[in-house]
Amino acid sequence: MSLALAAPIGILDEHPEWSARLIAELERRRLPFEKIDHSSHGYDPRDRRRRYAVVVNRTSPSSHRRGHAGVLFYAEPLLQHYESLGIPVINPVAAYRFEKSKALQVNLFERLGLPYPRTVVVNHRTELVKASVGVRFPVLVKPNVGGSGALIERFDSRVDLETAAERLDFGPDGTALLQEYVEPAGGAIVRVEVLDRRFLYAIRIVRGATDFNLCPADICQAEPAPAAGALGACPADATPGLTVTRGDAPPAVVDAVLALTRAASIDVGGVEYLVGKADGRVYFYDVNATSNFVANAPAVVGFDPTPRFVDYIVRVATRGTRRVAA
């Protein structure tokens, strides 16, 4: 049976496939919705009509890898516009700022007193080389604006880093992170998913030491940089060389994840951490304000999270506001 809403649900997503499961569930319930493709879009700040009952922000920083680089910075004023109209936004502009900046994520780890790999943030290659004097090798160089592990490189020595520095791509905003590489115990990382600021599930992903390509929760095959205008699709069920199983995050880790997502204004998303092979310590390293949920969720985690996501969307749409951080 359909639910009467004052306006349709807006799904802000430039990817042609990532919202397919969400849209299928909305259609099954006969809920009104509109997919907002902001790779080609415009708005008038003087237009004060509330066109949507809720906007679900599914903007990913990997948009620039699909020929949609304009989405990266356009999304922020667009989300601010929706919020200024009083439209509740799931994963609002505050969450999106953390989504597209690994540097802000590290600042958040530091502010909350959570363990993370030693990291230095730089915006010039000479600073990268200078910063390497104070860190332990091997290291990773990560563009500040990420997306499915794009452009992350590992260097095992300072000589290797200095040799490669001039060719490194710092990404769309010219900022990069130099981060000590922490080898994960068993080659595994854990992603903890949250919904409505509550624990949803955890998955354990075993991957290769040089494989940094994790599409939001779903594991994707590596995508080459596309030609201008090309679209990269995420083969959500493809798991080459990777294993994904249900994980068990310790209560202290779950509490830390909930604190992180509250502080980052993330309503639905995931936080990734690993346990160091050498010292057995937990290290947080990535925060995601976009989630496609794990592929084949009923088999992996025992239930389908998409209906729960839609339940939450409907609650926000009908009450006219989203939960805010305390």
How many whole angstroms separate alpha carbon 116 and alpha carbon 110?
Answer: 8
pLDDT in tens, 201-256: 999 999 765 555 444 344 443 344 433 333 332 323 434 567 899 999 999 999 99
Do 254 and 272 contact (CB within 8 A), yes or no? no
Give the CA-trace dihedral at 90, 95, 96, 100, to 10 degrees: -150
Q: In this structure, what are the phi and psi dihedrals at residue 2, rounded to the nearest 5 degrees?
A: -80, 155
Do 325 and 265 contact (CB within 8 A), yes or no? yes
pLDDT at 2 over 50: yes
Can you tell me which residue has the tokens 């969307």? 313
**Quick check: pTM over 0.75?**
yes
pLDDT in tens, 17-51: 999 999 999 999 999 999 999 999 999 999 999 99
Structural domains of the chain, ranges and CATH numbers in brackets: 119-180 (3.30.1490.20), 183-303 (3.30.470.20)
